[in-house]
Amino acid sequence: MTATLVETTYREALRAAIRQAMLQDERVFLMGEDVGDYGGCFAVSLGLLEEFGPERIRDTPLSESAFVGAGIGAAIGGMRPIVEIMTVNFSLLALDQIMNNAASLLHMSGGQFNVPLVIRMTTGAGRQLAAQHSHSLEGWYAHIPGLRILAPATLEDARGMLPTALRDPDPVLIFEHGSLYNMKGSLPDDAGAVDIDRAAVRREGADVTLITYGGTLGKTLEAAELLAADGISAEVIDLRTLRPLDDATFIGSVRRTHRAVVVDEGWRSGSLSAEISARIMEQALYDLEAPVARVCSAEVPMPYPKHLEDAALPQAATIAEAARRSMRPAAG
């Protein structure tokens, strides 16, 4: 039987993944603020309460630390919980549970207590939500040993990362960029699990490697179009998994193009972009023809007005400009 393509959205792909996991495995349940009656604050779980009931589509009170910790406890107790945190901004209230329990228990217990937990949350800026609702902190989480960090940027990954994450014996955090939920496209009707180990080449090119993930993949692909119009062939790497990083894919690309631009919606200082840049330095310095460039968010708490928010975030034009600079002799 050959698969037919169906129109879908990022949001629907996530929902289909949750639904299928719930149907296939009794141990899976979804828990978080407003996942039930409200349908999820980004409508990802809309309709699932009606299908699976309140035990398995479990609304929680506003208690991030307790329900994330409860997810950890339930995972240890033999369940396969999916915990939804409304957004990364509020995950800070559960940071202790994520870091000191989920990520540490296996090691601290000498290998006895693994935590098969999946935590999903929205990340990112771009919707004029100002300083407290616009963080991109996935890079912070990627700092923590014991966690696997995923950033689905495509419909395939929105559909396919969750089932693979649920089979992982250890905690996995999935970051869904808020600008992606309405992204439209088509998926085969039998689309399913994808790998969660490898970065992907989203566009092949020969002159410069643009490395990004999640919400900035679209802007980076646009930048590659702009560059193509100037005769510059850009390769675009989607990291997909932010921890553990798949060095081989982006280092391999940089060895071929000799130039790299890292695009990250997080702040620059002490960031994931800094880590990637350092790894290129460590593993491919002598292949470089220009310093590694970075396009990150301006180091301000996100301002509300659109023109200031736009100026604070990486944009296709600024990404393309950074790539052009790295193409010039004596770049910098």
Partner 1 sequence: MSKRTATVTAPPMPEAAHGLDLLRTMLLIRRFEETCAELYSAARIRGFVHLYVGEEAVATGVMSALGPDDAVLSTYREHGHALARGLPVDALMAEMFGKETGCSRGRGGSMHLFDKSRRFVGGNAVVAAGLPLAIGLALADKLQGRDRATVCFFGEGAAAEGEFHESLNLAALWRLPVLFCCENNLYAMGTAIAKEHAQPDIALRAESYGLAAWPVDGMDVLAVERAAQRAVEAIRGGAGPHLLELRTYRFRAHSMYDPDRYREKAEIERWKERDPIDALVASMRAAGQLDDAGLEALRDEVAGLVAAAVDAADQAPFEPVENLTRFITSEAGPEGGQR
Q: Does 170 bind partner 1 (CB under 8 A)?
A: yes
Q: Does 108 bind partner 1 (CB under 8 A)?
A: yes
Q: Does 101 bind partner 1 (CB under 8 A)?
A: yes
Q: Does 81 bind partner 1 (CB under 8 A)?
A: yes
Question: Which region among 75-83, 234-242, 263-271, 281-289 touches partner 1 (by CB under 8 A)?
Answer: 75-83
When binding is defined by CB under 8 A, the residue of 23, 38, 51, 145 that contacts partner 1 is: 145
Number of Cα atoms under 13 Å in the Cβ half of residue 69:
11
When binding is defined by CB under 8 A, the residue of 30, 74, 251, 302 that contacts partner 1 is: 74
166 token code pair: 């649920």
- Choice among 64, 235, 265, 309 that is catalytic: 64
CB of 222 to partner 1, least distance (A): 32
Residue 321 annotated in active site: no
Nearest alpha carbon to residue 117 among 78, 160, 66: 78
Question: Which region among 54-62, 204-212, 250-258, 280-288 touches partner 1 (by CB under 8 A)?
Answer: 54-62
Q: Does 106 bind partner 1 (CB under 8 A)?
A: yes
Q: How many residues line the site for partner 1 (CB under 8 A)? A: 49
Nearest alpha carbon to residue 86 among 129, 42, 51, 52: 42
Q: Does 48 bind partner 1 (CB under 8 A)?
A: no
Sign of CA dihedral 166, 167, 172, 175: negative
Nearer to partner 1, 105 or 323 (CB): 105
Question: Which region among 149-157, 161-169, 274-282, 298-306 touches partner 1 (by CB under 8 A)?
Answer: 161-169
Q: Does 200 bind partner 1 (CB under 8 A)?
A: no
Sign of CA dihedral 53, 55, 57, 59: positive
When binding is defined by CB under 8 A, the residue of 17, 21, 72, 82 that contacts partner 1 is: 72
When binding is defined by CB under 8 A, the residue of 89, 91, 123, 164 that contacts partner 1 is: 164
Question: Which region among 4-12, 67-75, 255-263, 313-321 touches partner 1 (by CB under 8 A)?
Answer: 67-75
CB 210 within 8 A of CB 253: no
Q: How many CB atoms lie within 10 A of CB 325?
A: 15
Nearer to partner 1, 20 or 65 (CB): 65
Q: Does 37 bind partner 1 (CB under 8 A)?
A: no
Q: Does 156 bind partner 1 (CB under 8 A)?
A: no
- Choice among 133, 265, 275, 309 that is catalytic: 133
Question: Which region among 5-13, 15-23, 63-71, 234-242 touches partner 1 (by CB under 8 A)?
Answer: 63-71
Nearer to partner 1, 60 or 134 (CB): 60
Residue 135 annotated in active site: no
When binding is defined by CB under 8 A, the residue of 41, 90, 92, 168 that contacts partner 1 is: 168
Interface residues toward partner 1, by CB under 8 A:
29, 55-56, 60-61, 63, 65-79, 81, 96-97, 100-101, 105-114, 116, 145-146, 148, 164, 167-170, 193, 195-197
Catalytic residues: 64, 133
